[in-house]
Amino acid sequence: GENVEQHPSTLSVQEGDSAVIKCTYSDSASNYFPWYKQELGKGPQLIIDIRSNVGEKKDQRIAVTLNKTAKHFSLHITETQPEDSAVYFCAASQWFKTIFGAGTRLFVKA
């Protein structure tokens, strides 16, 4: 069945450094790739997304890249801050069905 693999499962960086999370998806029909941030005790919140007709998208300190041929997409966070500490999920979607990765727990050390 459809699958999304996400790496690493845990990532620890120093404040100000960059963080990169990578995902691979299996369903070639996927055309929408959202990224969510989940803080403790809360539901996931969309932070950025990219569609299959775009290779890269940037929003301030956050950027996503998509390689549809290789079925890879990545999240890049620059100048990390302690408040970026959370669990991040990638996802691949086709119409209403969204398949999530297992999540990356990001720790940003002050």
Binding region for other proteins (CB under 8 A): 4, 6, 31-32, 34, 36, 41-46, 49, 89, 91, 93-103
Supply the minimum distance, in Å, between the C-beta of residue 4 and other proteins: 7
* Strand partners for 93: 32, 98
Task: For the chain, state the CA radius of gyration.
Answer: 13
53 or 110: whose CB is closer to other proteins?
53
Pairing, β 104-109 against β 86-94:
antiparallel
Residues 107/85, Cβ–Cβ less than 8 Å: yes
Q: Which is nearer to other proteins, 78 or 94 (CB)?
A: 94
Nearest CB to other proteins, comparing residues 19 and 23: 23
Q: Please, what is the minimum distance in Å from the beta carbon of residue 48 to other proteins?
A: 11
The token duo for 75 is 């999240």
User: CB of residue 106 vs other proteins: minimum separation in angstroms?
Assistant: 14
Q: Cα(26)–Cα(72) distance, rounded to whole angstroms?
A: 9
